[in-house]
């Protein structure tokens, strides 16, 4: 026998998690007439009373995800008074987490949306860093939150990815004497750029090790000290022209350099 049931989905946030769960449960009761009605961002007792009034005169269930303690208590109390079935879809699991972590939940609505937004911003920044790595697609420099410049092997790429995981869209441009920098590099504010320098001796060691890892053991201009001195002088001239902050990465781990960049980024208003 087919019955018509109205499910009132009530939340002090968007109610998306309750909506998905209700649909999952509904799929197990095929052939039944189930109507869903949403009440999102419920913030006070009057709005809760409106739901109670509707549910009172229909075969219904109130399914809710409410984290605000006073609202949750009020709904539970009113539903019991009116003989309405109200199902708390969050509190049992919240209680288990609270017990395991030995702490009380924040009870702030809308946190899952904030987490989702953070996640997608991070993914967007990572995709940006990959797309605009090593001077690719110079047109993207204007869209970057931050642009790293420096000679080869100054950790531009790993720094770009590290910063991307902090939701900062980072591009990087290699400075090579034989290849002029893209014009876009000089059209963005110098404050949005960070120059990376390194001592000649340290870069010489890094490049020699790089060549060894590639199986190239003979002499190579790439790792010669004269070549390195030429590149570093050229790079510093470009950085002065841009007018950007310069960081010496010689004896710094990626995390240390990134912390310096993040400090600059935050102090200077996200390089706006």
Q: Does 268 carry a binding-site annotation?
A: no
Distances (CA, A) of 271 to 109, 127, 192, 262: 31, 20, 5, 11
Over residues 12-33, mean pLDDT: 84
pLDDT tier at 200, thresholds 50, 70, 90: very high
* Model confidence pLDDT, tens digit, residues 118-134: 778 888 999 999 999 99
Report pLDDT for 1. 61
- Where do the structural domains in the chain lie, given as residue ranges? 4-109, 117-267
The fold of the 4-109 domain, in CATH, is Rossmann fold (3.40.50)
Q: Does 156 carry a binding-site annotation?
A: yes
Q: Does 154 carry a binding-site annotation?
A: yes
- H-type alpha helices, 57-189: 69-82, 91-101, 111-131, 156-164
**DSSP codes joined into one string, 12-75:** SS--HHHHHHHHHHHTTSTT-EEEEEEE-S--SHHHHHHHHHHHHTSSEEEEEE---HHHHHHH
Over residues 28-44, mean pLDDT: 88
Does position 65 have pLDDT exceeding 60, yes or no? yes
For the chain, what is the largest distance between any 2 Cα atoms, rounded to a whole number of angstroms? 89
Report pLDDT for 111. 57
Q: Does 157 carry a binding-site annotation?
A: yes
Which class is domain 117-267? alpha beta
Whether 4-109 shares its CATH topology with 117-267 is answered yes
Q: Does 13 carry a binding-site annotation?
A: no
**Nearest to residue 271, comparing CAs of 198, 163, 197?**
163
Report pLDDT for 239. 97
Q: Does 85 carry a binding-site annotation?
A: no
Q: Does 151 carry a binding-site annotation?
A: yes
Report pLDDT for 269. 63
Report pLDDT for 265. 92
Indicate whether this model's pTM tops 0.75.
Answer: no
Q: Does 153 carry a binding-site annotation?
A: yes
């Amino acid at each position: 026998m087919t019955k018509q049931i109205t499910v009132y989905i009530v939340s002090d946030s968007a109610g998306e998690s309750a909506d998905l769960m209700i649909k999952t449960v509904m799929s197990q009761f095929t052939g039944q007439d189930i109507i869903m009605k949403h009440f999102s961002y419920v913030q006070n007792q009057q709005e809760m009373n409106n739901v109670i009034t509707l549910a009172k005169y229909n075969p219904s269930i109130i399914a809710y995800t409410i984290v605000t303690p006073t609202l949750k208590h009020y709904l539970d109390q009113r539903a019991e008074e009116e003989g309405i079935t109200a199902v708390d879809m969050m509190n049992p699991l919240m209680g288990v987490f609270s017990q395991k972590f030995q702490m009380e939940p924040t009870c702030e609505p809308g946190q899952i949306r904030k987490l989702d937004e953070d996640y997608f911003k991070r993914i967007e920044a990572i995709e940006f860093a990959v797309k605009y790595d090593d001077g690719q697609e110079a047109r993207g420099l204007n869209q970057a939150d931050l642009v790293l410049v420096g000679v080869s092997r100054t950790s531009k790429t790993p720094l770009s990815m590290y910063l991307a995981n902090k939701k900062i869209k980072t591009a990087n441009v290699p400075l090579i004497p034989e290849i002029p920098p893209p014009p876009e590099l000089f059209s963005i504010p110098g404050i949005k750029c960070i120059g990376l320098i390194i001592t000649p001796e340290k870069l010489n060691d890094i490049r020699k090790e790089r060549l060894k890892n590639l199986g190239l053991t003979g002499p190579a201009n790439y790792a010669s000290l004269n070549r390195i001195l030429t590149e570093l002088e050229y790079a510093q001239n470009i950085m002065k022209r841009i007018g950007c902050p310069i960081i010496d990465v010689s004896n710094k781990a990626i995390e240390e350099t990134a912390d310096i960049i993040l400090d600059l980024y935050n102090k200077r208003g996200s390089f706006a």
